[in-house]
Amino acid sequence: MPTLYGKLYVVATPIGNLADISFRAVETLKQVDLIAAEDTRHVRMLLQHYGITNRLVSLHQHNEEKAALGLLEKLRAGQSIALVSDAGTPLLSDPGMPLVKLVKEAGLDVVPIPGACALIAALSAAGLPVNKFTFEGFTPRTSSARKTFFAEKVAGPYTWVFYESSHRILASLQDMAEIVPLDREIVIARELTKLHETIVKTNLADALERVSQDENMRKGEFVVIVDGAQIDKKEQDISAEQERILGVLLKECSIKSAVAMAAEITGGRKKLLYQAALAMGTGGEA
């Protein structure tokens, strides 16, 4: 790609505390030719704080399809552009996808400038499993759609995360309580990195009561993290005795024979025993 083309920088900005911005992000915002912002008035406060005077253009959900075409032409003309949202990492429940997609399809460079993200910040302090999780963005606006959403997620074994607004958090939890077991662990993180930051880990029943009773728990921006369904380990693992017998058999037999005999001796499921045998890494030819 000729160097005369500009680059699009996807720049993460603070989600509350203005100190949560990287040196690289500040330098990038100073050096680009223009900054595409979700809300120019909101972003201008951040830029003024760091003495950044670059030109701002608007890129929000109502104009981004059309604006993206104009920004692509500016990149082709050699200008560099920084894409920022009101807070956090662009594209995560924020505008910017049409622009990034268009720029990638045109073969131009898109450079991530990592930083604050409410999703990751909340997960890091939640105390719930994060080895596998799904991010769902904002929940649907209507009660019926939210209940359908919760019904689709309730049986999943992985942690799931969604954003919620102050005027819908109570209704969202009420809908969830009709679908999700009340003893399910959840985390409510509100106003992350701000003065009234609150991170509560509890069960759904208690969370609903807190939000119902405490007006402050209905203020701010929310990240809600829900523990996955607990899968019956009897269906997922073999017992210690089954493992012991399988281990003895594997010393003398092929995996196939050892699994067959272990299943007959212990009554265990062949599929689980076979998976355990492979994990043990012993035995003759299958």
Listed residues 226, 244, 270: the one ending a domain: 226
- Both 31 and 106 in one domain: the answer is yes
Is 1 contained in some domain?
A: no
**Per-residue pLDDT averaged across 222-233, rounded?**
86
**Per-residue pLDDT averaged across 40-68, rounded?**
93
- Give me the number of domains the chain comprises: 3
Confidence (pLDDT) at 3:
55
Residue count of the chain: 286
- Looking at 12-26, 154-168, 239-253, 270-284, which range is the least confident one? 270-284
Helix (H, G, I), strand (E, B) or coil at 239: coil
Name the region of 96 (left: φ>0; alpha: ψ -120 to 50; beta: rest).
left
- Both 157 and 83 in one domain: the answer is no
Instruction: Look over the chain and give the mean of its residue pLDDT values, rounded to a whole number.
Output: 92
Is 135 contained in some domain?
A: yes
Is 3 contained in some domain?
A: no
- Both 167 and 253 in one domain: the answer is no
Helix (H, G, I), strand (E, B) or coil at 212: helix
Is 271 contained in some domain?
A: yes
- Both 259 and 199 in one domain: the answer is no
Is 285 contained in some domain?
A: no
Is 43 contained in some domain?
A: yes
Domain containing 208 — which CATH number? 3.30.950.10
Query: Which domain covers residue 215, as residue numbers?
Result: 119-226
Is 171 contained in some domain?
A: yes
**Per-residue pLDDT averaged across 108-135, rounded?**
96
Going across the sheet that includes 198-203, the strands are 133-138, 159-164, 222-226, 185-190, 198-203
220 pLDDT exceeds 90? yes
- Both 252 and 154 in one domain: the answer is no
pTM over 0.85: no
